[in-house]
Amino acid sequence: MREIKFKVFRFDPQKDKKPYFKEYTIPVKEGMTVLDALIYIKENLDPTLSMRYSCRMGICGSCGMIINGKPELACHTQILELKSETIEVEPTQNLSVIKDLVPDLRPFFTKHRNIKPYIIRDDREEMEKPTREYKQTPEELLEFLQFSYCIKCGLCISLCPTCSAYDDFLGPFVLAQAYRYSADSRDSGFEERLKAIDKTHSITNCHFATGCSAACPKGVDPALAIQFLKKIAVAKSLGGFKKKVAEIAPAPPEKGPNKDKYPPAPKPTV
C-alpha cells in the first residue's frame, strides 16, 4: 500500500471567487483508478468534493478530466501506471466549471443537436413506418463506424486550440458526428447539415492541430472525420459531391422454394 498525494482542483461558485488546488493523501493499491481515488476522497476525507461519473468502465464518458496535464477518463487511468508521487486532477479545459471537477458540456450538446445527429432521408414515410431494412455493405459501414464510437466525453475539446480561442466553434466531436451521419450510406441530409456547419467559425477553422485525436480515449479520431468533412464540403461547393443513397432491401419472394427462409422485417424500435 503506497501513499500518493492528490492535488485536486476545487471551485465552489457559492463560496469561492477563484479556483484553487486542495491536497489529499490517500492509500493506493494496485488496480486503483483515479476515479476510485476521487471516490475515496469523497467518502472518507472531504464529502464536499464534486465530480461526475456513472459507468466506471469507460463507456459513459462522464469522468473525463485532466490528469497530470493529459486529458483522460478518470475511470480508465490506473494510478500506479502514472508513475508519479503527486497527481494533479483538473476539470476538462475550454469548458465552464459548474463545481470542482464538473464541467458544463451543455453548449456542446446544443451544438451537437444543431448539426442533426441522426439519419435524414427523403422518404420520411418509410422512416416513420419502415417496411424493410436499408441495404448497407460492410465497406459502407466502415466509412463511419469508427466515428460512431464517440462517447461525447468532451476530452477532445480540452486540447483543441480553436475551441480555446473561439466560443462559437462547433468543436471536434460535434464536427466528427456531422461527418459520421453524412458519410452514412443511408443518409441524404448532408445539405441540411451543412447549413448548421457552414458558419463563421466552422470546419475551415480547424487547422489540423490533431490535439483532439491525441486526446480521444476511444480511438474515434475526430481530426480524421473533420478533414473528410472538409473534403466533401469542398467537393460539394465545386459540384463534385455525389452520393448513392442506400435503398430499401428487397421484399422476400412470395413464390419459390426459398420463400419461407426469409425472416420477417424487424419491428420498429422507435
Partner 1 sequence: MFKNRQGIKGWFYLRGANFERYLYTLHRITGFILVLYITVHIILMGSRAFSETAWRSVLSFIGITFEDSIYHINPVVHFFEYLLVIAILFHAFNGIRLILTELGFFIGRPRRPEYPYVSYSIARPRPLMIFLMIIMFFFAVIGIYEFFLIH
Instruction: State yes or no: residue 140 binds partner 1 (CB under 8 A).
Output: no
H or E element at residue 3? strand 2-10
Contact partners, residue 85, CB within 8 Å, separation at least 6: 4, 5
Task: Write down the least CB distance from residue 252 to partner 1, Å.
Answer: 31
Among 114, 119, 227, 245, binds partner 1 (CB under 8 A): 227
Stretch that binds partner 1, among 28-36, 140-148, 251-259, 261-269 (CB under 8 A): 140-148
| By CB under 8 A, residue 146 contacts partner 1 | yes
Q: CA angle, corner 142, sides to 138 and 145, nearest 5? A: 120
Q: What minimum distance in Å lies between the beta carbon of 261 and partner 1? A: 30
Instruction: Indicate the DSSP class of residue 135.
Output: P
Q: Does 96 engage in binding with partner 1 (CB under 8 A)?
A: yes
- 26 versus 147: smaller Cβ distance to partner 1: 147
How many residues lie near partner 1 (CB under 8 A)? 54
170 touching partner 1, by CB under 8 A: no
Question: Among residues 136 and 164, whose Cβ is nearest to partner 1?
Answer: 164
Minimal distance, residue 109 CB to partner 1, in Å: 16
* Nearest-10 crossing angle of helices 172-182, 138-145: 170
Tell me the pairing of strands 102-103 and 97-99.
antiparallel
Residue closer to partner 1 by CB (options 81, 254) is: 81
Residues forming a β-bridge with 18:
none
| Residue 82 in contact with partner 1, rule: CB under 8 A | no
Q: How far apart are the first and last CA of the chain?
A: 51
Give the DSSP H/E element, type plus range, for residue 65: strand 64-67
Q: Find where cell 443537436 sits.
A: 113
Rg (CA), the chain: 23
61 binds partner 1 (CB under 8 A): no
Contact status: 210 vs partner 1 (CB under 8 A):
yes
C-alpha cell at 5: 498525494
User: Smallest Cα–Cα separation from 66: which of 98, 88, 35, 46?
Assistant: 88
> Of 6, 35, 87, 103, which lies in the binding site for partner 1, with binding defined by CB under 8 A?
103
Positions touching partner 1 (CB under 8 A) are 11, 13, 18-19, 68-71, 91-98, 103-104, 142-147, 149, 159, 161, 163-165, 167, 183, 206-211, 213-214, 216-221, 223-225, 227-228, 230-231, 234
